[in-house]
A and B are shown apart, each in its own frame.
Chain A
């Protein structure tokens, strides 16, 4: 039966529509997976359900009760609990104390009787401690009960967050990227844990994660969000093979028919062999790095040869950005070696590294919004010690010459990225690393930027790019590394990787793409909303999903299928 109904929820941040009329149901006892590329609106949806932000339009019902005016703590009491993508444990409290807060929140506790240590309070105190310990036991966290939550490694903190969410006796558990930062083994363990949790605590779950190796095996049903809309929905096997979903993850080009791979091989292959002989410009060996307790990358080995374009691809959180940061000295590597141009630069300051001729353009570009284009480019003089060759930059980027008096902050996203690239080129680097170059940019702009990358290669500059639009990246790149769970899972020439689509889609959507091609096309809207409301509330989950699927296969509204069935029953 339906537990949470979300209807046409819309959220706008300024001009950006983060969620655009999203509707779905979560049924009792169900684990519903929610996936989608970066910026698809998953976390926004979470914040709406838990009451942290208020939707601009739409309605939500929990157990038939409207959530419109319920503040977050009220929703917690109704039985909606959540975890956080960026850990939000109460770090100066012990693990057990973390669990007792939501337990206490359920009971009527009085501050003054607590302070006076009255019998009622100390009784309640022991009851909460007992329940907290029981939950810790199920999650295998007993030995950490008295540890301060902030002192634990991130993987265990994630488990404590799940425990804390369970402590408030929820009926619905919202899990926001519980696998972030976990390696493959820990992810498998988490998947098992989630099944245990469902059985022991009788909760339904809404699971958001980038990691398909968690979402697909665990979920009963999957919704795919893209640009704030429901792109597709279906059972995990169908989602894995849905061309629309693959396109959303890998970029526009792969939206073509899946069966027939493009026969024409790109010309880039030809340029490959002669570069093999040269000594590598950048060599990375056994690199490991992370933040705080979190080890994000381990055993990363890669190299870039002079004048080569190399792409790093892989799902979000796989460790691509961290690798770039560890190479350029923005964070200190934990172990491993980075050699650039024959010199060991492991752990050097980022300033020193950039003087060596390795320029890093970070995600978000690192520009000064109030500076004009020309002033931004002139600033390069600081790092190269002479006037930069502005005419050369304007030859490469004619558009920037037109805009040279304009403040960088007023430029479009694509033009800002050009400023960042131009600034990098002016420093006369040997290698430029670009992180998420095309994030948030329209496809036509992205094409222009890749054209510039090609020009940079022709100038003899090697480029290491981290890219979401896999198809476009592989078109430009000579070689590519595929990241999975903080390490490199595959590598090869771009042509090879392009030919082996399954390999790449596997690293995004989970491997084992089997033949069960149950493509689902529905967009979440039903012909007869009133009838569907009745159906969605009264029917058990499995029956409902079956009806929806049948309706979609037959290309009819679900309401019609239901009516037909009712007719049949009447006749019998």
Chain B
């Protein structure tokens, strides 16, 4: 009874609904778009991790793709080297990412803002150029060829990328909806308030009994674990792991798109994931042809430019992000209707 309070029930139902819709959506698409959909979920986790770290706790990180990469490589290694069930591999990947997140969080105990951003950028660079590419870490990265995980199984199902992409996608989206639900719960709970207190004023938080060391490290760990969870499915989706998707620039892109969509809002992560996976593909597929005799080619590069331009426009017009501002506007427009509805409910309760 107590934990089925009405708000909580609404949240669970919304998450279920989102899962049912999202899981069905790519069924009719061609294999290319199905791949995009799965990729959208992977990057959705990446942006979700920033919603926790930046949106809730106010910490800056420019190495979220690195966490995802560590998750991907750890999962690939577990499956290829130790031949474990893919679920076990995912669990190991999440733990590995969490541990790395805590380590990256250590400088955040002393630094903040731009200095912290530079430090995390440095970490992303080290992993991108060295750990993911150097022969010394071949045990972890599988060398230049990366890991191939065709034939991996989960829940007793075959889940390799070429024939059963949708199965992996459904699991991924299910997990995404679950983690998103947990994050919304967290936001409204005691721990979430402590996180937000750190965001608004660290000084006040520490003097009001919030252990900064503990909660900052926890935030970095949890954020890295979320990114790593998404990343650990990358081998299933793509069939193999290579350093390219987890390079420095992806981290920057994740940060930019998180801000673009609304870094304080969980649904913005889904929006951002879709944006990040689909738009470049759509551009490369349909972005060439001829118009009034002039041939044109809007290739992938245009995507980078578009993100930059959109970011500038958004910061001016929608400072709380695409999702955040739209949400606020809708809530604002609906405010009279909502209060009227509440009055009706109250009346019916008192008369009953």
A492 to B205 CA separation, bound complex (whole angstroms): 48
Q: Does B182 contact A (CB under 8 A)?
A: yes
Chain B residues whose CB sits within 8 angstroms of the CB of A75 once the complex forms: 207
> Whose C-beta in chain B lies nearest to the C-beta of A98?
B197
Identify which of A113-121, A260-268, A397-405 touches chain B.
Answer: A113-121
Q: Which of B3, B5, B186, B207 contacts A52 (CB 8 A)?
A: B207
A81, B208: Cβ atoms under 8 Å? yes
A118 touching B3 by the CB < 8 A rule? yes
In chain B, what residue has the closest Cβ to A51?
Answer: B207
Q: Is B185 an interface residue (CB 8 A)?
A: yes
Q: Is the CB of A114 within 8 A of B186?
A: yes
The 0/1 profile, CB within 8 Å of A marked 1, for residues 202-217 of chain B is 0111111111100000
Complex contact B5–A122 (CB within 8 A): yes
Indicate if the CB atoms of B204 and A77 lie closer than 8 Å: no
Least CB separation from B179: chain A residue? A115
Give chain B residues whose Cβ lies under 8 Å from the Cβ of A123: 2
B201 located at the interface, meaning its Cβ lies under 8 Å from any Cβ of chain A in the complex: yes
- What residues on B are CB-neighbors of A81 within 8 Å? 207-208
* Bound-complex Cα distance A116 to B179 (A): 10
Q: Taking the nearest CB of chain B, how far is it from the CB of A119, in angstroms? A: 5
Bound Cα distance A82, B204 (Å): 9
Closest A residue, CB atoms, query B198: A90
Interface residues on B, range: 20 to 34
Question: How far, in whole Å, are A529 and B182 apart by their CA atoms in the complex?
Answer: 57
Q: Provided the pairs A73-B212, A122-B2 are in contact, do residues A104 and B193 lie with their beta carbons within 8 angstroms?
A: yes
Asked whether, in the complex, the Cβ of B200 is within 8 Å of the Cβ of A105, the reply is: no
A100 part of interface (Cβ distance < 8 Å): yes
For window 91-141 of A, CB contacts with B under 8 Å fall at 91-93, 97, 100-102, 104-106, 109-111, 114-119, 121-125, 128
Contact B208 A101 (CB under 8 A): yes
Tell which of A71, A89, A115 touches B191, judged by Cβ atoms closer than 8 Å: A115
Least Cβ distance of B87 to chain A in Å? 19
Say whether A438 faces chain B, with CB atoms less than 8 Å apart: no
| Residue in contact with A90 in the complex, picked from B5, B182, B200, CB distance below 8 Å | B200
Interface contact B191-A109, CB-CB below 8 Å: yes
Within 8 Å by CB of B200, from A71, A82, A92, lies: A92
Q: Which of A52, A111, A115 contacts B203 (CB 8 A)?
A: A52
CB distance from B330 to the nearest CB of A (A): 19
The answer to whether A105 touches B194 (Cβ under 8 A) is: yes
Give bound CA distance, A117 to B187, whole Å. 11
A101-B210, A105-B208 are known contacts. Are A93 and B200 too (CB-CB below 8 A)? yes
Select which of B182, B199, B208 is within 8 A of A115 by beta carbon: B182
Cβ A102 vs Cβ B209 within 8 A? yes
| Closest partner residue, chain B, to A128 (CB atom) | B190
Which residues, 43 to 66 on A, are CB-close (under 8 Å) to B? 50-52
Quick one: given A118-B3, A123-B2, are A76 and B209 in contact (CB under 8 Å)? yes
Is A72 positioned at the interface, with any CB of B under 8 Å from its CB? Answer: yes
Q: How far is the CB of B112 from chain A (nearest CB, A)?
A: 16
* Interface residue from B193, B206, B211, B218 paired with A97 (Cβ < 8 Å): B193
CB of A125 to closest CB in B, whole Å: 7
Q: Taking the nearest CB of chain A, how far is it from the CB of B255, in angstroms?
A: 20
Return the chain A residue nearest B184 by Cβ. Answer: A115
Contact of A100 among B2, B186, B190 (CB under 8 A): B190
Of the candidates B191, B209, B212, which one forms a contact with A77 in the assembled complex, judged by CB atoms under 8 Å apart?
B209
Taking the complex as formed, is B148 at the interface, i.e. its CB lies under 8 A from any CB of chain A?
no
Q: B186 touching A72 by the CB < 8 A rule?
A: no
Which of A77, A91, A102 has the most C-beta atoms of chain B within 10 angstroms of its own C-beta? A102
Are A73 and B209 CB-contacts (below 8 A) given A92-B196, A114-B191?
Answer: yes
Residues of A within 8 A of B (CB): 50-52, 71-73, 75-77, 81-82, 84, 88-93, 97, 100-102, 104-106, 109-111, 114-119, 121-125, 128, 164-165, 168
* A–B complex contacts, Cβ < 8 Å, 11 sampled: A75-B207, A82-B207, A90-B200, A90-B204, A93-B196, A93-B197, A97-B193, A102-B209, A114-B186, A114-B192, A122-B8
Name 7 extra pairs, CB < 8 A, besides A115-B183, A118-B3, A119-B3.
A77-B209, A88-B203, A89-B201, A90-B201, A104-B190, A115-B185, A122-B5
